[in-house]
Chain A
Amino acid sequence: MNSLIWLPFLPLLGTLIPLISNRLSRTECAFLTAVLPALTLVLILINAGNIVQGERFQAAIPWIPSIGLELAFRLDGLALLFSILILGIGLLVILYARYYLSDKDPMGKFYAYLMLFMFAMLGVVLSDNLIQLWFFWELTSISSFLLISFWGHKTEARKGARMALTVTGAGGLALLAGLLILGDTVGSFSLQTVLDSGDLIKASTSYPVIVVLVLLGAFTKSAQFPFHFWLPNAMAAPTPVSAYLHSATMVKAGIFLMARFYPALADTDLWFLIVSLTGLATFLMGAYIALFQHDLKGLLANSTISHLGLITLLLGMGTDLAAVAAIFHIINHAIFKASLFMAAGIIDHESGSRDMRQLNGLWKYMPYTATLAMVASASMAGVPLMNGFLSKEMFFTETLHQASLGSLSWLIPVLATLGGVFAVAYSMRFIHDVFFNGEPINLPKTPHEPPRYMRVPVEILVALCLLVGIFPSYMVGDLLFSAASATLNSTPPSYSLAIWHGFNLPLLMSIIALIGGLIMYQNRPHLFKFQAQFPKSDPKLVFEGVVQSLASAANRFISFTENGSLQRYTFFTLLLAVIMTAASLMKLNATAGQRPEIPVDAVSITAAVLLSISALATVLWHRRRVVALITLSVVGLIVSLAFAQFSAPDLALTQLSVEVVTVILLILALFFLPQKTPKESSPRRVVRDLSLASLIGGVVGTICYALMTRPLDTISTFFTENSKTGGGGTNVVNVILVDFRGFDTLGEITVLGIAALGIYKLIARMRLFMPSSNDRGLAWSEDKNPILLAVISQSLLPLALLVSAYIFLRGHNMPGGGFIAGLITSVAIIQQYVGHGVEWIKTRVKLDYQIMIGSGIGIATLSGLGSWTFGHTFLSSWFDYFYLPVIGKFELASAMIFDLGVFLTVVGATMLILANLGQLTTSERPIQKEND
């Protein structure tokens, strides 16, 4: 039956129809919506015959094997029963809602949500794969959220919907965990495999965990104690929704889950204890609370909770007959409770109230509806000739055969009877309080019978109550049998669906329940008085309160940890770093290695001392910024000397030129920043930071020393060997930069370019903070450009440019290269700015630094792309030697073009930064371009 694969998707397709047919009349919209579910129902009923014969349809196609999810459906007795409930009652609800919804309500939206839910629910009951089951399980939570919050402008609708979603969602997560462990234990997520390996599961160590997690899912969904509180609050939903989700289908999903996994998980002491005791508690509590509700729907909701408890209790008992009784009661409860909700809806709809303190004596106004409601509630009470009586009779019988509580087993039948008493009492109240008991008290509108077709669904359901009640085996015998055998995964024991089993204990219990219920209803005033003593607590408020307080607690925690102090964040980062490194460094036995050390000479010592002093001075005087800046630059100077000494001329040159530019930059910046830093670190913080800093310094120093004193063979020999032959240069460092690792350099100049752009962004929008004087109150000199400087710098310019050209050209073979050349050029240009001022330059030098950056990066990239034409990879270099008169033999290399790109980018970036920064004080200050 491959049609089974697409069968469940018909309702999903159905979600579109109401959205489209929304424009048509309400009746047409409802009718069209009903088409696809009806079709689905027919298709299922066609196969019902074979299934009842014990056949089982399965169909699967792979979906996401890696998580064990496959699109797998099965249609067996249990699935058949639930599908009929879902689709059948669904159709009735569609008809009912057509008349229930007012013109203001968006009908298409409502039906769409309803179809979505139907799809999800159908998916749950037809699933043949654990993950897929969970998939649809969550979909029911989502769609029911949408349905409960259909009137989202009402507070109670929003709150009720959120509560339902939270509780069922939490249960869903537990269920997921349970199913994952279950699938892992069995080794497969296919339902059939799981059902067949019950013994293996029960034997495994993870069985208790599985049971608890799966049951958490079931109990939350089926509103079992202590998770029952969401259901009454879900009554904010439109009544058709309550009739559909909260009586017939969704709340039954938890029950279905327990029935579905019955062969795999049930029939152990753990199962019995948890399930039956929870069921019993829910059964009694629901019945008791129901009696005291004044809201019609509230009464029905609590009665639903109670009946779900009853079914749960039956499933917990572990005997096969109990399971049969449970299935039977699922059918019966669905029928009578749905009809009762619809009746309540009619009453609400036609009288404008659901409050039983106002609703009285409606018999006069709507006798027809009253009759229907009375029959249904009689069935709810378990009056003979009604279907409710039969399953309750079976229930009583089973409680008697229950011995699992040992000497206390007598408690179960007694409590069951007590629950029955309450059930009769609240059913009585539903009848007597509403339809008799005097006159209505100031109702919004005078009650009257509903439109003809709004009653039809109720009529059908009530008829079923009677038919099933009188001819049970004829009506549902086969269905029940196949469902039961599917649940038990075996043939159920023999049972009789007769109305009359002769005078026996169960019958006596029923009679006690009936009489006791009537008596209790008679004396309800005393009960109500007693109940009134308890303080009222609205679970909605409690729940919201809990969520609120949790949220504010979380808020306090977050604002405590993320207190917006960078110093803290940096501290944590560095702390983690030092912990990690120090932890492993302790395993280092000897700091020093075998590599021979270079002897210390006087020069180095003096340099080191000078370095240390100026570094410490920078720290000590860091609050006097200008001084600190000077000492800082001394450090930089010595660092470059160090490079020079340890045979890294390129580094020395670069460090030096960068140093110059950096200092210029910092001085310029200092003009716009305070000249002094206030003393604000608390002594504790100073000590804390000092200890961390020195700890890190120690670690770094140790590692550095340990590294230097150990021998190492690197890949570098390759570079020295291939520098000349492969790279065409004798300065290995430069060849590495422009050839072996030219890609790094390309990234490096990109960084420089981006930085320049970013800095332009920063400057261009800066609201200036322009000091007229320095911190000592001395005004800044007015004449910006001393003439002497102007002359010198102007005469120096050509020289500087010449030097940089030389540095650039020789770079490939001697220390130098595009980068250093670029920096020297920029320094030279800056001199002109300092010497002559911005305006003077602007008129003479036409340089768009942005274009320089762009073209620089562009040229560098293109020089790399050139090699593609020769079929080489990006940045493959080419070089050759030429001879020209006068100049003599010289070399041309593609690397030089690359270096030219570097040069341009460096000049462009440096100038874009410094020039704009310098211009801030002048009339030439940059303003945003057109595109902002």
Chain B
Amino acid sequence: MQHLSIFPILIPLLFGAIMLLPPISRDISSQRISSIVGTLFLLASSAVLLFKVDNEGVQLYALGGWQAPFGIALVADRISSLLVLLTSFLAFAVMLYSISGKDKGGAYFHPLFMFQIMGINGAFLTGDIFNLFVFFEVLLIASYALLIHAGGKQKTQAAMHYVILNLVGSSLFLFGLGILYGTLGTLNMADMAIKVGQLEGETATLAKTGALLLLVVFGLKAAMLPMHFWLPKTYASASAPVAALFAIMTKVGIYSIFRVYTVIFGEHAGELANIATPWLWPLALLTILIGSIGVFASPNIRTMSANLVIVSSGSLLACAAINSEAATSAAFYYMVHSTLASAGLFLLADVMARQRGKAEDRFVHSRLFVQPRLLGVAFAISALALIGMPPLSGFVGKIMILQATQSTAQTMWVWPLILIGSLAALVTFSRAGTTLFWRHNGSASSDAEPAKANEIVGIGLLLLASPILVLFGGEISEFTQQAAHYLHDIQSSAYDLLPGVTQ
């Protein structure tokens, strides 16, 4: 199946377009059906793609039949196909959660959702830096529209900040692209990786400014300090499915950092080797710190989950700073874990809030849940996963990161920060859990609505991923190791992608 690697982009695009056309555009139920079908197709094709890549190696797809570096090429390697599968799985679970009412309260939820997925998958798959920009814009504009879904003052205000900051970010992106094209004369990332090595002197210096501008842009997406301010309010005010879907968005920034500063500006970049590292180190550590403080200060579940996203970004950025195979492998294992776990918590927070009346998801004394057992178990699972306690996936990721950072000079900074971060999460979660589930007065409220079956399944899928990540931790971590090895090997990640170019 030669076209497999473009399916993750085309499927959501076509489904999104079709949902704008009658008859499907007319009523929501048929939109729901087609969304589920679409995400299922997506899931299947991404799984097949991953399998194929794992067996047959990287899949190169030259769009329009124009070979790289001249045309746009999609590169489905282990990492991109893993993240595409992650996105598709997330999309399916979240969509399953949404189809019982969360998709109402605003037009076009389903098409926008599909376009958002298309943007994310495109950003993961493309091997062309300007095409990356285009897909960034696709996923951004879709996220703007989804953020204001279901309306409300908070959403409007959060959207204002989110949109404007990202518009500034897009301008910086274009400046950076201009500089890189103006110095390298190419847009294909593999080609850039090779050409960068030959740059020297003033041209190299110019290219460096462009590269660092891109770091700012990706950092903004990844909520790297001091560009994390937008995240808590945005995620906390977005409607549950949207927030859950956003859990992957910071990861797009992280992924781009790995892609650009490992393949293009990695060890082989001559004068520009590892230029991001000196900037990434302090910012990553500070991001972990401020995220942990935020977690500790959170008044409700949603804000806490948002701050946990910042912490995970910090840890991932630290891995990017090390720029070693072990660190990259750790980062991508951790990425899968934290995306699914935090998405699950966002959805769970919504269900819990709906059962607590005015108290919503705030850590205050309130009435009893309608489904205390179910929610309690779910909350415990996501808590253990996100704190990083056995037996759930968080601890594997944490240990991988700790081991990856062990032999570096920064260990005495990274380790305490990561461990204290976990402690902060532990304290916050234990206080939250005991308050939410045990400090209640009397009976459940009559008007509270219990979680519906599809919602439970959606959350269940996300939470179930955590134990599975541990049970099959051996296989998965081996996979991420191979992926990391591929990314760090210039021969495979650059030369092999360009027909007729040899080292």
Where the two chains meet, the residues of A that have a C-beta atom closer than 8 Å to any C-beta of B are 62-69, 131, 134-136, 138-139, 142, 145, 149, 152-153, 158, 161-162, 165-166, 169-170, 173-174, 176-177, 180-181, 184, 547, 550-551, 554-555, 557-558, 561-562, 564, 566, 568-570, 572-577, 580-581, 584-585, 587-590, 593, 699-700, 703, 706-708, 710, 712-716, 718-719, 722, 726, 739-744, 746-748, 750-751, 753-755, 757-758, 760-762, 764-765, 850-851, 853-855, 857-858, 861, 865, 867-868, 872-877, 928-932
B108 at the interface (CB under 8 A from A): yes
**CB within 8 Å for A873 and B3 given contacts A590-B202, A747-B137, A750-B118:** yes
In the complex, A136 Cα to B389 Cα: how many Å?
A: 10
A131 surroundings in chain B (CB, below 8 A): 399
- Given contacts A180-B406, A703-B179, A751-B138, 17 further A-B pairs with CB under 8 A are A63-B474, A65-B477, A66-B473, A138-B389, A562-B233, A569-B230, A585-B209, A588-B205, A706-B202, A747-B122, A754-B138, A757-B107, A761-B145, A850-B25, A873-B61, A874-B64, A875-B64
B288 surroundings in chain A (CB, below 8 A): none
**CB within 8 Å for A932 and B64 given contacts A570-B168, A572-B226, A873-B2:** no
B71 surroundings in chain A (CB, below 8 A): 740-741
Nearest A residue to B429 via CB reads A165
B72 at the interface (CB under 8 A from A): yes
B18 at the interface (CB under 8 A from A): yes
Interchain CB contact (< 8 A) of B70 among A706, A715, A850: A715
A-B contact pairs, 18 of them (CB 8 A): A69-B399, A180-B403, A547-B431, A568-B229, A572-B227, A580-B209, A580-B213, A703-B179, A706-B202, A710-B202, A740-B71, A744-B134, A750-B13, A751-B141, A757-B145, A858-B18, A865-B10, A931-B109
B175 surroundings in chain A (CB, below 8 A): 700, 703
B452 at the interface (CB under 8 A from A): no
Whether B216 contacts A576 by the Cβ 8 Å rule is yes
Whether B205 contacts A152 by the Cβ 8 Å rule is no
A138 surroundings in chain B (CB, below 8 A): 389-390, 395
A562 surroundings in chain B (CB, below 8 A): 229, 232-233
Whether A152 contacts B14 by the Cβ 8 Å rule is no
In the complex, A575 Cα to B172 Cα: how many Å?
A: 12
Which residues of chain B in 4-62 are interfacial with respect to chain A, using CB atoms and an 8 Å cutoff?
6, 10, 13-14, 16-22, 25, 27-28, 31, 61-62
Smallest Cβ distance from A913 to chain B, in angstroms?
Answer: 13
A-facing mask of B72-84, CB < 8 A → 1, else 0? 1000000000000
Whether A853 contacts B20 by the Cβ 8 Å rule is yes
Whether B6 contacts A874 by the Cβ 8 Å rule is yes
B151 at the interface (CB under 8 A from A): yes
Whether A703 contacts B106 by the Cβ 8 Å rule is no
In the complex, A867 Cα to B2 Cα: how many Å?
A: 13
In the complex, A726 Cα to B107 Cα: how many Å?
A: 42
User: Which range contains the number of B residues in contact with the other chain?
Assistant: 35 or more
In the complex, A277 Cα to B61 Cα: how many Å?
A: 68
B227 surroundings in chain A (CB, below 8 A): 569, 572-573, 576
Interchain CB contact (< 8 A) of A754 among B63, B145, B179, B399: B145
B256 at the interface (CB under 8 A from A): no
Whether A570 contacts B165 by the Cβ 8 Å rule is yes
The 4 closest A-B pairs by CB, nearest first: A854-B20, A758-B145, A714-B185, A152-B438
B277 at the interface (CB under 8 A from A): no
A64 surroundings in chain B (CB, below 8 A): 396, 470, 473-474, 477
**CB within 8 Å for A584 and B205 given contacts A131-B399, A751-B134, A931-B31:** yes
Whether B164 contacts A707 by the Cβ 8 Å rule is no
**CB within 8 Å for A876 and B64 given contacts A577-B172, A590-B202, A761-B145:** yes
Whether A754 contacts B142 by the Cβ 8 Å rule is yes
In the complex, A712 Cα to B199 Cα: how many Å?
A: 12
Whether B164 contacts A566 by the Cβ 8 Å rule is yes
B220 at the interface (CB under 8 A from A): yes
In the complex, A855 Cα to B226 Cα: how many Å?
A: 42
Interchain CB contact (< 8 A) of B134 among A139, A149, A580, A748: A748
A170 surroundings in chain B (CB, below 8 A): 423
B427 at the interface (CB under 8 A from A): yes
Q: Chain A interface: which of B261-269, B290-298, B460-468? A: B290-298
In the complex, A712 Cα to B181 Cα: how many Å?
A: 9
B6 surroundings in chain A (CB, below 8 A): 873-874
A-facing mask of B103-140, CB < 8 A → 1, else 0? 11111110110010010001000000011001101100
Whether A584 contacts B137 by the Cβ 8 Å rule is no
A765 surroundings in chain B (CB, below 8 A): 106, 151
Whether A932 contacts B229 by the Cβ 8 Å rule is no
In the complex, A722 Cα to B71 Cα: how many Å?
A: 12
A135 surroundings in chain B (CB, below 8 A): 390-391, 395
A577 surroundings in chain B (CB, below 8 A): 172, 213, 216
**CB within 8 Å for A707 and B206 given contacts A152-B438, A576-B227:** yes
Whether A854 contacts B107 by the Cβ 8 Å rule is no
In the complex, A585 Cα to B209 Cα: how many Å?
A: 7
A928 surroundings in chain B (CB, below 8 A): 106-107
Whether A851 contacts B434 by the Cβ 8 Å rule is no
Q: Find the residue from B17, B178, B391 having the highest chain A CB count within 10 A.
A: B17
Q: Find the residue from B21, B31, B178 having the highest chain A CB count within 10 A.
A: B21
In the complex, A874 Cα to B71 Cα: how many Å?
A: 12
A177 surroundings in chain B (CB, below 8 A): 402, 415, 419
In the complex, A564 Cα to B13 Cα: how many Å?
A: 35
B215 at the interface (CB under 8 A from A): yes
B371 at the interface (CB under 8 A from A): no
Smallest Cβ distance from A21 to chain B, in angstroms?
Answer: 18
In the complex, A581 Cα to B137 Cα: how many Å?
A: 23
In the complex, A566 Cα to B202 Cα: how many Å?
A: 36
Nearest B residue to A564 via CB reads B233
Which residues of chain B in 197-238 are interfacial with respect to chain A, using CB atoms and an 8 Å cutoff?
202-203, 205-206, 208-209, 212-213, 215-216, 219-220, 226-227, 229-230, 232-233
Nearest A residue to B272 via CB reads A584
B19 surroundings in chain A (CB, below 8 A): 854
Whether A714 contacts B423 by the Cβ 8 Å rule is no
Q: Find the residue from A569, A575, A699, A855 having the highest chain B CB count within 10 A.
A: A569
Whether A755 contacts B229 by the Cβ 8 Å rule is no
Whether B169 contacts A573 by the Cβ 8 Å rule is yes
Nearest B residue to A710 via CB reads B203
Nearest B residue to A851 via CB reads B21
B495 at the interface (CB under 8 A from A): no
B149 at the interface (CB under 8 A from A): yes
Nearest B residue to A145 via CB reads B430
Smallest Cβ distance from B280 to chain A, in angstroms?
Answer: 11
Smallest Cβ distance from B239 to chain A, in angstroms?
Answer: 12
B64 surroundings in chain A (CB, below 8 A): 739-740, 742-743, 873-877
Smallest Cβ distance from A910 to chain B, in angstroms?
Answer: 15
Nearest A residue to B229 via CB reads A569
Smallest Cβ distance from A713 to chain B, in angstroms?
Answer: 6
**CB within 8 Å for A142 and B297 given contacts A161-B434, A573-B168, A741-B72:** no
In the complex, A555 Cα to B363 Cα: how many Å?
A: 14
Whether A554 contacts B399 by the Cβ 8 Å rule is no
Interchain CB contact (< 8 A) of B297 among A66, A558, A861: A558
Whether B165 contacts A569 by the Cβ 8 Å rule is yes
Smallest Cβ distance from B416 to chain A, in angstroms?
Answer: 9
Smallest Cβ distance from A855 to chain B, in angstroms?
Answer: 6
In the complex, A716 Cα to B141 Cα: how many Å?
A: 30
In the complex, A289 Cα to B434 Cα: how many Å?
A: 30
**CB within 8 Å for A868 and B118 given contacts A64-B474, A718-B70:** no
Smallest Cβ distance from B267 to chain A, in angstroms?
Answer: 19
A748 surroundings in chain B (CB, below 8 A): 134
A710 surroundings in chain B (CB, below 8 A): 182-183, 202-203, 206
Smallest Cβ distance from B127 to chain A, in angstroms?
Answer: 11
**CB within 8 Å for A851 and B20 given contacts A66-B477, A547-B427, A761-B108:** yes
